């Protein structure tokens, strides 16, 4: 039986290893008995002596007999050196383990080269300073700067491990809406592996021996020259939707990187052409997010309506004389 006490900065636990674990490696046993924490973190605690077994420091690969007494006395150190910055946040949900944010277009998620501050992470750290103890400040998946919509943030180590697992086993559902050039088939699945572009390393591309990438889509509305599509990701490769839709010949309206030409606009009148070509970002919005709550185990579903710019474009295209 586990006897645990948690604070935001300190973790204490004491338990006995089951005898059926006899012969297993201590790092593997701890990963099974303490699933709230990553294997890397548990290995670090073992190595530094924050986890002892029968009052001894074991090497991660050392095998155990079963029945040993484990004591955990670990301090959570800051995982990031980014600072908080007070900025508006559209928080859809927040509890002790999970934050869901509706990110506006134009906001970068992480600080980095060219964006040392003014990012979503800076805003999160100002509102939830405990996120400095979570790797990547709790961000477990990303949205491009100019993609709007829902983003899940882990507020605890337990939640981080749980959400990362959901991403890996594809139990986290992510649905998007996009406006694309031309008229794709009514529905389809794009199963096309992706990796870095061979020559342009800042871009992604469909490549034969890339990492698996699967996108499901179906057309929800059509205009004379474009289509609104709903998309669901099975994998989460960088720029996946943008690359996949370009791959089938229907790039996203407003995409400055992956759009090649403007398929379907050849016969458009001037008003329609201006509406579509003047849209200032890729027309992509993460509209819904479904996940298993890390603590309660309940299915949680969150929705974010289309932002004003996309909604205005939708209405304008529906009313324009084509």
Give the catalytic positions in this structure.
144
HSE value, Cβ hemisphere, 13 Å, CA-based, for 189: 5
Distinct helix (H) and strand (E) counts, the chain: 7, 15
For residue 173, give every residue at least 6 positions away whose Cβ sits within 8 Å of its Cβ, in sequence order, or none: 232, 288, 289, 290, 291
Q: Among 29, 162, 153, 146, which Cα is nearest to 101's?
A: 153
3-state helix, strand, coil in the chain (%, to 5): 25, 30, 45
Q: Among 321, 304, 299, which Cα is nearest to 91's?
A: 304
For residue 104, give every residue at least 6 positions away whose Cβ sits within 8 Å of its Cβ, in sequence order, or none: 90, 148, 307
């Amino acid at each position: 039986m586990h006897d645990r006490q948690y604070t935001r900065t300190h973790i204490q636990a004491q338990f006995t290893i089951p005898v059926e674990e006899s012969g297993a490696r201590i790092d593997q046993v701890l990963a099974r008995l303490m699933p709230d924490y990553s294997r890397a973190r548990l290995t670090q605690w073992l190595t530094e002596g924050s986890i002892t077994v029968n009052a001894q420091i074991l090497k991660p690969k050392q095998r155990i007999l079963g029945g040993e007494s484990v004591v955990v006395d670990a301090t959570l150190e800051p995982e990031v050196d980014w600072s908080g910055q007070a900025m508006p946040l559209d928080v859809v949900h927040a509890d002790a383990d999970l934050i869901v944010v509706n990110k506006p277009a134009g906001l970068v998620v992480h600080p980095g080269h060219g964006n040392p501050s003014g990012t979503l992470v800076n805003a999160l750290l100002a509102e939830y300073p405990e996120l400095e103890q979570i790797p990547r400040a709790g961000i477990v998946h990303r949205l491009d700067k100019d993609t709007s919509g829902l983003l899940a943030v882990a507020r605890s180590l337990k939640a981080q491990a749980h959400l990362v697992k959901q991403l890996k086993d594809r139990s986290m559902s992510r649905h998007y809406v996009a406006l694309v050039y031309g008229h794709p088939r009514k529905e389809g699945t794009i199963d096309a592996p992706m990796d870095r572009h061979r020559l342009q390393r800042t871009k992604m591309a469909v490549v034969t021996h890339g990492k698996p990438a699967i996108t499901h889509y179906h057309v929800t509305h059509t205009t004379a020259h474009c289509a609104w599509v709903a998309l669901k990701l099975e994998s989460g490769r960088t720029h996946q939707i943008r690359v996949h839709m370009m791959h089938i010949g229907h790039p996203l309206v407003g995409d400055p990187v992956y759009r090649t030409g403007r398929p379907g606009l050849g016969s458009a009148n001037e008003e329609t052409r201006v509406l579509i070509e003047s849209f200032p970002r890729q027309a992509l919005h993460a509209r819904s997010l479904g996940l298993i709550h890390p603590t309660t185990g309940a299915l949680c579903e969150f929705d974010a309506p289309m932002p004003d710019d996309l909604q205005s474009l939708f209405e304008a295209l529906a009313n324009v004389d084509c």
